[in-house]
Structure 1
């Protein structure tokens, strides 16, 4: 369960069936909303309402809103909306370990290729680019998420992808998982994983054919 309070516009609503879809303000695909999750609203939702909510992902991979409320129409007697209870330190530690394991798996080939390249050529730039650009890209993601919430000028997706291509994709991956930013937008995810594949294939080619070409 995502513990960050999100917001978006209600772009679809079937009042007779009691459900609709929210378009998140920070981008990504629409989020399902059921009327039962609007427990403290003084009226039923309407199109273009601003909805605040938390996210959960169903077993089928679809995202839905929980603990939601409509901006400006909450009951005055209601206490402030609380964040959903987390699964505790054990669940957080397990998620961190799983994230690190996935990241290391993705980095196996690029780091092996970059280390081999540095050993053969004496050029350490590929090894340096990954950590430096990853930190820079993570900061860009974090800044862009803040800007999205503030509804001010944002970093373009092209800029983020260029940073990922230059070597910052590990930082982008970590930011997507920890900050929940750009992780639900399919078009962005397609381009991001294409960049990851390019890095994997490029280093695989180097490991197989690079030393022969230099010799």
Structure 2
């Protein structure tokens, strides 16, 4: 039997949430993004949905065939259109392009000056390729409801030297390019990696 409820919780990074039933029985129902029947958008807290509930083997209820009924009601907690525009605006490509160019020139200079071995050129290439693939897999998981790659893992890859691949993935895949908090952490990893690289070259002078 189809029920009516409201999305009370939603974890977009992990792709699941809970629906509060309007009749109170059961009071809270789990649902996964794969159960959400509206391609092209993600669930929102506060929106009214219709669904069918099924009791799982562990006794818990899970919603299936979840579909939106009416637009979510506006509330004081919902960001304004201007605030949403700020959050959703993609990061400019210029800072990343300049940082990548400076990184390439610095490594070339360090190798030519004998501060780094020639093999050092392959480290950022390999790590960037691995980081790009990690971004691509994480985006695929976000779209299909699969297991997400922790952001801490992505940041560790960036810190190790794969940040150029992360920047390329952000620009080409449009993944992790609209979250101000993530972008701040990304640039922190870039700066920390640059400091470590400069320190290594300085000690070999």
Q: What range is the shorter-chain TM-score in?
A: 0.5 to 0.7
The whole-number CA distance in structure 1 between the counterparts of 2:154 and 2:128 is 11
Counterparts of 1:110-129 in structure 2 under 5 Å? 110-119=103-112, 120-121=114-115, 123-129=117-123
CA offsets per residue over residues 12-58 of structure 1, 9 Å max, x none? 46x9xxxxxxxxxxxxxxxxxxxxxxxxxx953247xxxxxxxx999
- Distance change in 2, residues 1:6/1:133 (3 Å): farther
Matched, 1:150 2:144: yes
The whole-number CA distance in structure 1 between the counterparts of 2:143 and 2:84 is 28
The whole-number CA distance in structure 2 between the counterparts of 1:60 and 1:115 is 39
Matched, 1:63 2:88: yes
Specify the structure having the higher radius of gyration (Cα): 2
Matched, 1:8 2:42: yes
SS in 2 for 1:160: helix
Alpha-carbon RMSD across the aligned residues, in angstroms, is: 3.5
Matched, 1:173 2:171: no
Which residue matches 1:105? Answer: 98
Using the TM superposition, give the Cα deviation of residue 177 of structure 1 relative to its aligned residue in structure 2, in angstroms: 1.7
Structure 1 residue runs of 5 or longer lacking an equivalent are 16-41, 48-55, 65-97
Using the TM superposition, give the Cα deviation of residue 169 of structure 1 relative to its aligned residue in structure 2, in angstroms: 0.6
Tell me, yes or no, if the aligned pair for 2:132 and 2:166 is still in contact at 8 Å.
yes
Which residue matches 1:52? Answer: none
Give the TM-score normalised by the residue count of structure 1: 0.52
Tell me, yes or no, if the aligned pair for 2:87 and 2:180 is still in contact at 8 Å.
no
CA offsets per residue over residues 122-144 of structure 1, 9 Å max, x none? 51243212222111111111111
Which residue matches 1:189? Answer: 183
The whole-number CA distance in structure 1 between the counterparts of 2:161 and 2:127 is 6
Matched, 1:45 2:79: no
Counterpart of 1:132 (choices 115, 126, 130) is: 126
- Distance change in 2, residues 1:165/1:61 (3 Å): same
Using the TM superposition, give the Cα deviation of residue 196 of structure 1 relative to its aligned residue in structure 2, in angstroms: 1.2
Tell me, yes or no, if the aligned pair for 2:87 and 2:178 is still in contact at 8 Å.
no
SS in 1 for 2:193: helix
Tell me, yes or no, if the aligned pair for 1:177 and 1:183 is still in contact at 8 Å.
yes
SS in 1 for 2:41: strand
Q: How many aligned positions are there?
A: 139
